[in-house]
């Protein structure tokens, strides 16, 4: 993202604003970004994006950055800061890459970037993150015998075109330099795993585990009559990851049931599953699967009542089913960034909560997540609730949508129950969620103090 665009953005999982060059704040943000997805620090802006009252001097920034080396263990390696002239004055931006090492502060805290905050990890979370680091950066490993000559010029040109649309500026440098920058090749021109997956016509020549299996079953189980296979269609999909996503989507689309209702003079089609939810499940499986597991492929199973997308490899790093909506950590960050530039990912880090929202808005149950040591499955159910989600539910966020689902199932919800439902979210945020729904006329507040609970109005 160009520096000027950063200034117009808001702080988030990959962007932080620091008002002054404070060594402690810088060290905390460096460690958090390096341990998570990487990101950019903009110096000279307050949290709300307004200019800092006091101008930052470049010498003071250099001094503070030097001091941070002694506050991080091991030190976080970053490049040089970039000076940015804007309507808000002179600002400085610093890119922080994701690190293959586990970084901590000298006081022992291990931080990750969580939303707009730097969050310390607990003991078990640190162990999980350390374990993820110890497996190595597989997507950057060299594929024996493969070079940039094996890349498809057609795929590279398509990527460059999509990237220019995303960044609003064409790339005018050498293609080989860009391939090195994004991790598709190393400094010797040898192809990496991510380069093979993104830019070769047939990655399965080198990585046979990178194909995808689609199967449609007659009923709710994989078994057919008399011990025969229960599927009516089975396809193996091959090709680069962008083609896998498109072809998997087209297969599901061709097998998806479509109904129609007439509202006034308009004919409105209703699909078996929300399109965004299906595409997000496919993209997540392709992006985040563990490509080290050579004996397994992504599986998409379409049953009469549900769609299952099963990805080899458990959840990465400190991610759990409980925090999957609010926390973000990629096993293959370069693959994720490649597909983001390609346009297959709308906004980094917001896919799961949007998936839950569209399922709820369409009247479906929330997606079911099943995390196991060597696989992760997302299940989308096609049966709609008897009471379809009302129009006002479209104005709720993903946490509020979960609260409404809970109320429909249990009749009411308390603050304590809401906190249990959305672990890892501050009590104040959840209190404001409930107050907002009361103000909108969605919920009715009953009782007072510890006896307070909420019901549908």
CATH code, domain carrying 434: 1.10.10.10
CATH of the domain at 325: 3.30.565.60
Of 328, 362, 388, which residue constitutes the final position of a domain?
388
**pLDDT computed for residue 349 by the predictor:** 65
The whole-number average pLDDT for the span 35-50 is 90
Residue 22 shares a structural domain with residue 51: yes
> Mean pLDDT throughout 87-96?
88
pLDDT for position 388: 46
Residues 29 and 161 placed together within one structural domain of the fold: no
Whether residues 206 and 337 fall in one domain: yes
User: How many domains does the structure of the chain reveal?
Assistant: 3
Q: Is the dihedral of CA 389, 381, 322, 131 positive or negative?
A: negative
CB neighbours of 62 closer than 8 A, spacing ≥ 6?
A: none
Answer with the one of 109, 133, 157 that is the final residue of a domain: 133
Query: Distance between CA atoms of 31 and 12, rounded to whole angstroms?
Result: 15
Pairing of strands 15-18, 39-43: parallel
Query: Residues for the chain: how many in total?
Result: 457
Mean pLDDT of 51-58: 87
Same domain, 255 and 370: yes
The tens digit of pLDDT for each residue in 352-396 reads 888 988 898 888 888 999 988 889 999 999 876 544 445 555 567
Among 75-84, 131-140, 150-159, 264-273, the minimum mean pLDDT is found in 264-273
> Does the pLDDT of residue 49 top 90, yes or no?
no
Sign for the CA dihedral angle at 331, 334, 338, 340 comes to positive
Q: Mean per-residue pLDDT for 80-103?
A: 88
Residue 387 has what pLDDT?
Answer: 45
Residue 406: band (very low, low, confident or very high) from pLDDT cuts 50, 70, 90: confident
Q: Mean per-residue pLDDT for 1-15?
A: 68
Per the structure, the complete domain to which residue 402 belongs is given by 391-456
Looking at 388, 419, 439, the residue that finishes a domain is 388
- Averaged pLDDT, 228-235: 81
Residues 255 and 381 in one domain: yes
Claim to verify: residue 87 and residue 108 sit in the same structural domain: yes
In this structure, the answer to whether residues 125 and 248 fall within a common structural domain is no
Q: pLDDT at residue 263 above 60? A: no
Position 149 scores a pLDDT of 95
Identify whether residues 195 and 252 lie together within a single domain: yes
* 123 shares a domain with 164: no
Same domain for 207 and 328, yes or no, is yes
Q: Is the pLDDT confidence value at 397 over 90?
A: no
């Amino acid at each position: 993202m160009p520096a000027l665009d950063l200034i117009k953005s808001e702080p988030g999982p990959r962007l932080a604003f620091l008002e002054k060059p404070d060594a402690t704040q810088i060290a905390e943000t460096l460690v958090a970004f390096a341990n998570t997805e990487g990101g950019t620090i903009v110096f000279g802006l307050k949290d709300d994006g307004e200019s800092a009252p006091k101008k930052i001097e470049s010498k003071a920034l250099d001094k503070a950055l030097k001091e941070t080396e002694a506050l991080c263990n091991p030190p976080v390696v970053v490049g040089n800061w970039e000076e940015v002239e804007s309507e808000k004055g002179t600002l400085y931006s610093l890119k922080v890459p994701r690190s293959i090492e586990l970084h901590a502060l000298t006081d022992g805290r291990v931080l990750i970037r969580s939303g707009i905050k730097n969050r310390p990890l607990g003991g078990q979370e640190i162990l999980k993150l350390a374990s993820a680091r110890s497996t190595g950066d597989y997507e950057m490993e060299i594929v024996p015998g493969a070079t940039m000559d094996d890349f498809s010029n057609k795929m590279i040109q398509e990527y460059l075109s999509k990237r220019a649309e995303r960044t609003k500026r064409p790339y005018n440098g050498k293609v080989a330099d860009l391939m090195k920058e994004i991790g598709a090749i190393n400094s010797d021109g040898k192809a990496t795993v991510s380069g093979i997956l993104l830019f070769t016509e047939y990655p399965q020549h080198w990585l046979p585990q990178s194909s995808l299996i689609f199967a449609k079953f007659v009923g709710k189980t994989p078994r057919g009559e008399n011990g025969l296979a229960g599927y009516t269609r089975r396809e193996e999909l091959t090709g680069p990851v962008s083609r896998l996503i498109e072809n998997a989507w087209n297969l599901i689309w061709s097998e998806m049931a479509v109904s129609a209702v007439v509202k006034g003079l308009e004919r409105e089609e209703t699909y078996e599953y929300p399109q965004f939810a299906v595409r997000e499940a496919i993209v997540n499986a392709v992006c985040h699967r563990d490509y080290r597991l050579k004996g397994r492929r992504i599986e998409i199973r379409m049953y009469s009542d549900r769609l299952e997308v099963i990805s080899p490899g458990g959840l990465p790093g400190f991610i759990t089913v409980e925090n999957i909506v609010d926390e973000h950590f990629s096993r293959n960050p370069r693959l994720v960034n490649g597909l983001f530039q390609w346009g297959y990912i709308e906004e980094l880090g917001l896919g799961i909560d949007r998936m839950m929202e569209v399922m709820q808005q369409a009247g479906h149950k929330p997606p079911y997540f099943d995390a196991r040591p060597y696989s992760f499955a997302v299940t989308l159910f096609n049966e709609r609730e008897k009471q379809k989600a009302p129009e006002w539910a479209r104005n709720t966020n993903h946490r509020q949508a979960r609260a409404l689902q809970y109320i429909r199932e249990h009749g009411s919800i308390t603050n304590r129950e809401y906190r249990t439902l959305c672990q890892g979210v501050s009590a104040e945020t959840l209190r404001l969620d409930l107050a907002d729904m009361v103000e909108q006329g969605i919920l009715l507040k009953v009782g007072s103090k510890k006896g307070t609970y909420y019901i549908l109005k």
